[in-house]
Structure 1
């Protein structure tokens, strides 16, 4: 059995693609600048890439699990044409105040809880102590801290920066390539 691998966990909306608010329509899919190039550099450096995304719009009845899956499949297809492949995609469809009963609950997977990262770690044999999280909200970073991820990067392309987010971050990046540079420099 091989040694566990380092990973870079990526939030989806606001980090990989433009966040339009409950983003789920394929026609609204816009991959953010520098994402493909940065992901290729991380892969070349030996990181496994894993998407971990809260999708409370499913619980809220704003879109379906099938809508989420169509959007994600298209995102993965577009990035694959640019030589970017993910080892895993994990999502949380839950929210305590959801309208859809089967998804209306408090769970262990919704960030800031670490459930998705811990599940990915088990499934993909990841070394969390050598892994990084790139997110656009304090909840992304908190999930990483709780999972034992070594570095948390707050990317400024997503939600408005908050003092809470800046305090939780190991680094605040202006864009995805700056996040990539920091991870590569600090993982040596």
Structure 2
């Protein structure tokens, strides 16, 4: 997805599906995605707050695929612990949006480390490097795909047999019908 210049911007558990063979994941709901071309050119904060990277809370800050890596960290954390790392108040729901943003910006605390106590050191390191609030220190996609937790013995990473897409055709958007065509039958 990133190699094709797409930043999803709303990765969350609900947007990740398994195909019918249960060998490949499918990422769905590209409604908030945008094209990205090298430099961190995106600015609009969007997506689900619990999965949002801290840099999205800085007005006018430009970003790129690193926001999806943070979201992947939240997803993996949720898969191995059964809960999201940054959610409602300590004892339940009700934490305000500013408090939730502050917790996300702080990153890992004792609470998250305690929740990961039952996972392997490799898994813990993988998640912590994805949920690094400092974008410069956060794991990149190349590092994530080579991480020893992902590439552990006996596991093979497969890529979907997706053919190459002509970049010109990939960026073409069909022309929008004239406005009066959209309102046919309305007077």
TM-score of the aligned structures, taking structure 1 as reference length: 0.29
User: Of the two, which has the highest radius of gyration?
Assistant: 2
Looking at both structures, which has the greater relative contact order when contacts are Cα pairs under 8 Å and sequence separation is at least 6? 1
Greater share of residues in helix? 1
TM-score of the aligned structures, taking structure 2 as reference length: 0.29
